[in-house]
A and B are shown apart, each in its own frame.
Chain A
Amino acid sequence: MPISHLSHWGLLVTGDPLLYGADASIILASVGIVFVLTYFKKWKWLWREWLTTVDHKRIGIMYLIAAVLMLFRAGTDALMMRTQLALPNQHFLGPEHYDQIFTTHGTIMIFFMAMPFIFALMNIAVPLQIGARDVAFPYLNAISFWLFFFGAMLLNLSFVIGGSPDAGWTSYAPLAGLHFDPGPGENFYLLSLQITGIGSIATGINFLATIFKMRAPGMTLMKMPLFTWSIVATNILIIFAFPALAVALALLLIDRIAGAHFFTIHAGGLPMMYINMFWIWGHPEVYIVLLPAFGVFSEVVATFSRKTIFGYKAMVSSMLVISVVSYFVWAHHFFTMGGGVSVNSFFAVASMLIGIPTGVKVFNWMFTMYRGRIRMKMPMLWTIAFIPCFVLGGASGMMLAVAPVDYQFHNSYFLVAHFHEMLIGGVVFGMFAALYYWWPKVFGFILDEKWGRWAFWFWNIGFYVCFEPQYALGLMGMQRRMYTYPSGMGWTALNFISTIGAFLMGIGFLVMAGGIVYSIFKGERDLTGDPWDGRTLEWSLPSPAPHYNFAVIPTITDRDQWWTLKEQGKQDTLRPRPEDIQPIHMPKNSAKPFLIGVAFFAAGFGFVFNWYVLAAAGLFCIVILLLVRSFEYHSDYHIPVDEVVHTETALGRL
């Protein structure tokens, strides 16, 4: 077993100095947090204002913080791997340790960095963009967050207790089965993903209901901002794709803890079925994290070119086409499994077809910029950087889609370069554009440009230096998930360059974090609520928006409502008039979503170690909490008119 000598189901992972260092820093950080909270008497504040909140804006902030922390955690994993691979025959990481690190890196980046990041943006922007006061089911929204949070905790705990999973982020059977992978690590993977997955499905339903049912009067579907449209497409994908993952994980878990044989050959099971089901979710997942980034780019390009988006209808329909066609391509992840000519041809052609709507979008962004009055602010910089990166990644994706050629590329560094180009150049760049774009709306101040530009260039140069050489390495025969390689393969120089690039991105991350800290103290305050001269409704509100968002729900007549009103000099129509203000109906905070998260965590932990008493106790608490909720009749309240008037006056809007 690992790094470490697990006294087979022994609890604490021991044996490696790197690990003791990490353990010590985790303990120190926790003690530090507890100390600060106690010293400044902040426990009550934390509980009342954050842990029990059902406000979409605060839930969004919590998702955002979690996503950035997880980017740091999984980014550290990435740097450790690149350090190991910088030169041949190194012993910085052993083979088992390397396996664990690429597994946690991939799993955390996808589930606990990219997913919460898109949920953060949905929470932050969608209700404000459509003129709503919260999401359709605020209480469920809080449950989703806590399921994500405790799922993430469970996976990260594996690092200290029991040992990390090590079968790859895909966790293929039969490798991930009990026979080849005993010990609790893989159970941690299965249960933590199962728990967050439930939260993700709930979020998908919640936001689809919000967007379809809670738009301000007059906002027809074709008047919705494109970011909101991208969230529609994303949520359709979430609702139909995540159940496939839930089933695959559940069956593998039953195999592991109850001795079933869904995925083990010797009792008639079919390990390929796991791979098949994983990718039925897995390919749509790529678009689940990418489509919101498309939405962000559409908002940013229009705003910073001061033009309406080119081809709005084509943008909407291409996103919807993507959300359907991306269900029909999953087998391109296992062309080499032996599906045969007809299967491979079908999935190859379907995969290439996806390039068409995606290409349409790229052209539309460029036509929007054409002859626009472009302002190179941070969100726009990230958007412009995205385009060449995405085009390169898309081109290599098309190459991978050619089934016979994929036999060469499959599981090589060519693939690693391709998917990082999509995931960093597409998703992460998009999230960064959004971070700079909506930051003032969320926190009331603008992120500093100078720090932002330094971070931008470190990230961008680092990205190409790190990943372009990997295309070549892949063609030279270097396989993915290799913990080391011999000298004399001709791979050394390229690997070394790649590692330099990785560290440049690491510096980029630190500069970015530094810029955030700097801006907290010195950043320009956003007093107008509209720092970018925006086009959509959220920019008509003060920054940060009041608790109830809109004192009076606006009536919509135009796609770029706020922009149009500004052009006509009629901004005041979106200000509340005292006679229109009525008591505002809002949901009450609740401790139950947090407690449900705790109960899921306990149940999950119990299943990981086959401690069924704990597992049963956790499940029992979940049922009790659901029951208590269903008999709760006072889950809402009204904000009186006086208070609304008072708040709006203080904001200078009355």
Chain B
Amino acid sequence: MLNTPESRSGMGHHHAERFPWKGIIGYVLSIILTGFSMWIGLTHAAQFGTALFVILGLAVLQIFVQMFLFMHVTESDEGPPWQVLGLLAGLLFVATIVGMSMWIMTFNGQAS
């Protein structure tokens, strides 16, 4: 056997029998979330500040849709919980990037 994750999880070899409900729901949800934020952006349906917050909220929802419906975060194999480690590292780097970028872009309080 080729000892790949593909063949172990059955993606390569055995065929999935079930209807991919998760995928379909995720797909529809992500289209709705993206479409809605695009609509806000294009039509100026809300004021700038409000729009920004709504779109950010939608983006966070989108992350959850992706992680739970597409990316199998809840599934696990033997061995260390790699996805948890990955998510923690991701969290650290995202926090760094966003936080530090905001800090840098205040230009010592001399610009905004």
Contact = CB atoms under 8 A, between A and B. Distances in A.
A and B pair up? yes
A587 B11 CA distance: 12
Contact of B108 (A331, A341, A553, A586): A341
A638 to B, nearest CB: 9
Interface in B64-112: 77, 79, 82, 89-90, 93, 96-97, 100-101, 103-111
Interface stretch (B2-10, B25-33, B49-57): B2-10
Contacts of B109: 340
* Residue with the highest number of chain A CB atoms closer than 10 Å, among B7, B82, B90, B101: B101
Given A240-B89, A331-B104, A553 B12 contact: no
Nearest to A132: B3
Given A340-B110, A636-B12, A134 B4 contact: yes
A492 interface: no
Contact of B5 (A213, A273, A553, A585): A213
Contacts of A586: 2
A385 interface: no
**Interface size class of chain B, counting residues whose CB lies under 8 Å from the partner chain:** 20 to 34
B4 A343 contact: no
Interface in A284-312: none
**Interface size class of chain A, counting residues whose CB lies under 8 Å from the partner chain:** 35 or more
A22 to B, nearest CB: 41
Interface string B20-49: 000000000000000000000000000000
A272 interface: yes
Contacts of B101: 273, 276-277, 280
B4 A340 contact: no
B15 interface: yes
Contacts of B90: 240
A136 B90 CA distance: 22
B13 interface: yes
Interface string A334-360: 000011111100000000000000000
B60 interface: no
B96 A633 contact: no
A212 interface: yes
Contacts, number: 79
B6 A137 contact: yes
Given A280-B101, A633-B15, A343 B3 contact: no
A244 interface: yes
A82 interface: no
Nearest to A330: B100
A406 B7 CA distance: 53
B37 to A, nearest CB: 15
Contact of A585 (B2, B104, B107): B2
A553 B3 contact: yes
Contacts of B2: 133-134, 584-587, 636
B105 A276 contact: yes
Nearest to B2: A585
Given A133-B3, A553-B3, A343 B12 contact: no
A133 B4 CA distance: 9
Interface string A244-280: 1000000000000000000000000010110011001
A328 interface: yes
Nearest to A209: B5
Contacts of B93: 240, 327
A214 interface: yes
A338 B5 contact: no
B97 A635 contact: no
A137 B4 contact: yes
B67 to A, nearest CB: 15
A339 B97 contact: no
B96 A636 contact: no
A240 B88 CA distance: 12
Given A133-B2, A273-B101, A276-B101, A212 B82 contact: yes
Contacts of A340: 106-110
Interface in A112-140: 132-138
Interface in A202-258: 209, 212-214, 236, 240, 244
B15 to A, nearest CB: 6
A255 to B, nearest CB: 15
B107 A339 contact: yes
Contacts of B3: 132-133, 214, 553
Given A331-B100, A338-B107, 10 more contacts: A212-B82, A213-B4, A214-B3, A276-B101, A338-B110, A340-B107, A341-B108, A585-B1, A585-B2, A636-B13
29 contacts: A134-B2, A135-B4, A136-B5, A137-B5, A209-B5, A213-B5, A214-B5, A240-B89, A272-B105, A276-B101, A276-B104, A276-B105, A280-B101, A327-B93, A328-B96, A340-B107, A340-B110, A343-B103, A343-B108, A582-B1, A585-B1, A585-B7, A585-B13, A587-B2, A587-B12, A633-B15, A636-B2, A636-B7, A636-B13
Interface of B: 1-7, 12-13, 15, 77, 79, 82, 89-90, 93, 96-97, 100-101, 103-111
Interface of A: 132-138, 209, 212-214, 236, 240, 244, 270, 272-273, 276-277, 280, 327-328, 331, 338-343, 553, 582, 584-587, 633, 635-636
